[in-house]
Amino acid sequence: MGSSFGTVFRTTTFGESHGAGVGAVVDGCPAGISISLTEIQAQLERRRPGQSRLTTPRQEGDEVEILSGVEAGLSLGTPIGLLVRNLNQKPGDYRQMANIPRPSHADYSYRMKYGVNSLSGGGRASARETLARVAAGSVAEQFLRSRFGVEIIAWVSQVGEVTFELPEAELEQLSRSAVDAAAVRCPDPDKAALMTAAIEKAAAEKDSLGGVISCVCRKVPAGWGEPVFDKLDALLAQAMISIPAAKGFMLGSGFAGAAMSGSRHNDRFLKDGDRLTTATNFSGGVQGGISNGQLINFKVAFKPVPTIGKVQETVDYEGNQVLLKGKGRHDPCVLPRAVPIVEAMAALTLADLALRQRGNSLF
């Protein structure tokens, strides 16, 4: 339970941070879709640990294997098995913390749920699980692009107190190459430098920082999303909040819309050739839980990494006072590596709704 996402385009992930490997089974991908292993690997490279001085020094090649469901570069319509083997696991780093629930980690809550929790890293709660999402998300993205031309681009828009707002007019032109020009994955060079400095300062102080990732989904057709409980924005929120360390989701105007009047916030319709468009996009491309053909744009807030090198006062499972100093190899800020994870979860959400819409449509 809880390890699968999607209804028609359905993904199940498996594996633990310091186990033999992590992977995913993608079921429901239509047959005949061109699936590039190189493209899947490229997205995993963007999430991979050890890629820059801003990330954990854990060295993993994260080389993905396609075990099933793809032949001669085409999907067969059968379950697609994806596997990445763990080659640099160090479960011994966590032995001294076996009897201590780490502050803001899932150790305590997992033990309360299951009566036991993984003693090596965070187990299923570890962010290493997300590499399976990125691999599966790349399959979903390749399907969306080939069938509908959908494009998904995410970027870092805040680290700590450093913020960057991309003008709405530039959302159509933003590319992944521009995002990846800086290791911190902010497309503005000046803000990227400030974000980098903030992360390096936190790391030097044995602390960590949180931030925000923004995302735009382009060329999504109008009509995707289900009424009431399976609204597009509701499923996007679920998808994003399921990412480790994610604490907030905002679509379109988000909380800022609460301070606006209806006359200002309403997105009035305009005729654009043979279709309708809107003068503004405070709705974030979703109205009534269904896509309206405009850009879908949202933000995801991430908390600071809970494992830090500073000594913290806490208690063990018996309630005895202890001083805990985080060990292991951890990111001082998850934001740069979380960009492809956000893109992956957006792709998995949209791919599922695209196939559900095909079942609803008469055309």
Chain segment 110-151, per-residue pLDDT in tens:
888 888 776 665 778 888 999 999 999 999 999 999 999 999
- For residue 34, give the DSSP letter: B
Q: Where are the domains of the chain?
A: 4-360
- The residues of the chain scoring below 70 in pLDDT are 50-52, 55-60, 88-96, 118-121, 326-329, 360-363
Residue 17 pLDDT: 81
HEC per residue, 287-312: ECCEECCCCEEEEEEECCCCCCCCEE
Residue 93 pLDDT: 56
Residue 362 pLDDT: 42
- Rounded Cα–Cα distance for residues 281 and 106 (Å): 38
How far CA 78 is from CA of 57, 84, 137, in Å, comes to 37, 20, 17
- Rounded Cα–Cα distance for residues 140 and 10 (Å): 10
* CATH, domain 4-360, list 1.10.3720.10, 3.40.50.150, 3.30.230.10, 3.60.150.10: 3.60.150.10
- Rounded Cα–Cα distance for residues 266 and 19 (Å): 51
What tokens does 205 get? 């102080």
Q: Is the pTM of this model over 0.75?
A: yes
Q: Give just the sign of the alpha carbon dihedral 301, 306, 311, 315.
A: positive
Rg for the chain, CA atoms, rounded: 21
Q: Give just the sign of the alpha carbon dihedral 348, 216, 234, 302.
A: positive
Instruction: Please say whether the beta carbons of 40 and 139 come within 8 A.
Output: yes
Residue 152 pLDDT: 98
Instruction: Please say whether the beta carbons of 274 and 186 come within 8 A.
Output: no
Helix or strand holding residue 11 (H, E): strand 10-15
Residue 177 pLDDT: 97
Please count the other Cβ atoms lying within 10 Å of the Cβ belonging to residue 138.
Answer: 26
Residue 159 pLDDT: 98
Residue 101 φ then ψ, to 5°: -75, 115
